Amino acid sequence: MKQMTSVEARQAFLDFFVEMGHQQVASSSLVPANDPTLLFTNAGMVQFKDVFLGLDKRDYKRAATSQKCMRVSGKHNDLENVGPSPRHHTFFEMLGNFSFGDYFKRDAIRFAYALLTQVYELPPDRLAFTVYKDDDEAYDIWINDIGVDPRRVARMDTKTNFWQMADTGPCGPTSEIHWDKTPELGLDSIIPLMQAEDDRFLELWNLVFMQYNRTQPDPENTGKYDQPLPAPGVDTGMGLERILSVVNGVTANYDTDLFTPIIAATQRLSGHTDEERDTNYVPYRVIADHIRAAVFLIAEGVLPGAKGRDSVCRLVIRRASRFGAKLGFREPFLGKLVDTVVEIMGGHYTELVERRDAIKKVITQEEERFRRTLDRGVEELEAELSKLPEGGVLPGGVVFYLKATLGLPDQVTKDIVEERGYSVDMAGFRAAEAEHAIRSGGGQAMGEIDAVNVYKDTLAQLQAGGALASRGVVYNPYGSLQVEDQVRAILQDGQRVNSAIAGDKVEIVLGATPFYVEAGGQVSDTGVIIGDGWRVEVEDTRRPVGGLIVHIGEVVEGQPREGDTALASVDAGRRMDILRNHTATHLLHAALRKNLGSHVQQRGSLVAPDRLRFDFAHDAKMTPDELRAVEAQVNDVIMANYEVCAVEKPLAEARAEGAMALFGEKYGDTVRTISIIGNEDSRYSYELCGGTHVSETAEIGPFLIVSEGSVSAGIRRIEALTGSAAMHYIQNSRGALAHLAARLGAAPEHVEERVSALQDELNQAKKQIERLQREIARQQFDQLVTSLEPINGTQALIAQLDDVPPETLREMTDWFRGIVKSGVLVLGSVTDGRPQVVVAVTDDLTKQGLHAGNLIKQIAPVIGGGGGGRPTMAQAGGKDASKLGAALETARQLIAGSHSSG
Mean pLDDT of the 650-664 span: 85
pLDDT band of residue 806 (cuts 50, 70, 90) is confident
Residue closest to 126 by CA, chosen among 192, 182, 175: 182
Starting at the edge strand found earlier in the chain, the sheet holding 866-869 runs 789-791, 794-802, 824-831, 834-841, 873-877, 866-869
pLDDT at 131 over 90: yes
Mean pLDDT of the 675-697 span: 90
pLDDT at 436 over 70: no
**Distance of alpha carbon 816 from alpha carbon 825, whole angstroms:** 7
What three-state secondary structure class fits 865?
Answer: coil
**Distance of alpha carbon 518 from alpha carbon 525, whole angstroms:** 8
Mean pLDDT of the 135-161 span: 95
**pLDDT of the residue at 779:** 87
Mean pLDDT of the 873-879 span: 91
Got the DSSP string for 773-790? HHHHHHHHHHHHGGG-EE
Continuous segment of H or E residues that includes residue 679: none
pLDDT band of residue 493 (cuts 50, 70, 90) is confident
Task: Dump pLDDT digits (tens) for 846-863.
Answer: 888 889 999 999 999 999
Task: Dump pLDDT digits (tens) for 28-42.
Answer: 999 987 666 688 998
Which of 213-227, 270-284, 384-398: highest mean pLDDT?
270-284
Q: What is the mean pLDDT of the chain?
A: 90
pLDDT band of residue 77 (cuts 50, 70, 90) is low
pLDDT band of residue 405 (cuts 50, 70, 90) is low
Q: How many degrees, rounded to 5, is the angle at CA 172 between CA 167 and CA 174? A: 125
**pLDDT of the residue at 357:** 92
pLDDT band of residue 100 (cuts 50, 70, 90) is very high
pLDDT band of residue 166 (cuts 50, 70, 90) is low
pLDDT at 48 over 80: yes
Task: Dump pLDDT digits (tens) for 819-838.
Answer: 989 999 999 999 888 999 99
pLDDT band of residue 449 (cuts 50, 70, 90) is very low
CA distances from 110 to 18, 116, 179, 696 (A): 15, 10, 17, 58
Got the DSSP string for 333-377? -GGGGHHHHHHHHTTT-THHHHTHHHHHHHHHHHHHHHHHHHHHH
Task: Dump pLDDT digits (tens) for 623-644.
Answer: 999 999 999 999 999 999 999 9
Higher pLDDT, 260 or 746: 260
**pLDDT of the residue at 465:** 86
What interhelical angle do 852-859 and 884-901 show, nearest 10? 140
